[in-house]
């Protein structure tokens, strides 16, 4: 018995931005955006698209990231009409803050 031939076209794009906010030659912000577009049935129309942007911020200038945020947006053409409508989109976001930065914030608030 012959298996049906799997057809999928996957396009992945990765963009990275390095930003020196204060001009001291040390990178303060790193942002990476990965976009994945998938055409499951080979008709040339994207059926699934996912974009994830992850950004790390060095707030205090010590060379280590203090805040990292990540957002993923996923769209799936569930009904197969060739368009990804609003109800076929999901957004997930998260933020992580270093314990050192939180401690500094608490110290500032306590001194006020």
pLDDT beyond 70 at 35: yes
Instruction: Lowest mean pLDDT of 5-9, 13-17, 88-92, name the range.
Output: 5-9
Average pLDDT over residues 19-32: 93
Per-domain residue ranges of the chain: 9-111
The reported pTM is 0.81
Neighbours of 46 (CB within 10 A): 19
Average pLDDT over residues 79-108: 92
Q: How far is CA 10 from CA 47, 63, 64, 98, in A?
A: 10, 36, 34, 36
Q: What is the pLDDT of residue 6?
A: 65
């Amino acid at each position: 018995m012959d298996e049906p031939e799997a057809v999928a076209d996957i396009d992945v794009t990765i963009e990275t931005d390095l930003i020196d906010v204060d001009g001291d030659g040390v990178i303060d912000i790193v942002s990476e955006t990965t976009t994945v577009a998938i055409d499951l049935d080979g008709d040339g129309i994207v059926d699934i698209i996912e974009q994830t942007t992850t950004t790390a911020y060095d707030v205090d200038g010590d060379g280590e990231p203090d805040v990292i945020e990540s957002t993923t947006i996923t769209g799936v053409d569930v009904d197969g009409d060739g368009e990804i409508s609003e109800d076929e989109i999901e957004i997930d976001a998260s933020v992580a803050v270093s314990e050192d930065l939180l401690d500094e914030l608490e110290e500032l608030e306590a001194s006020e």
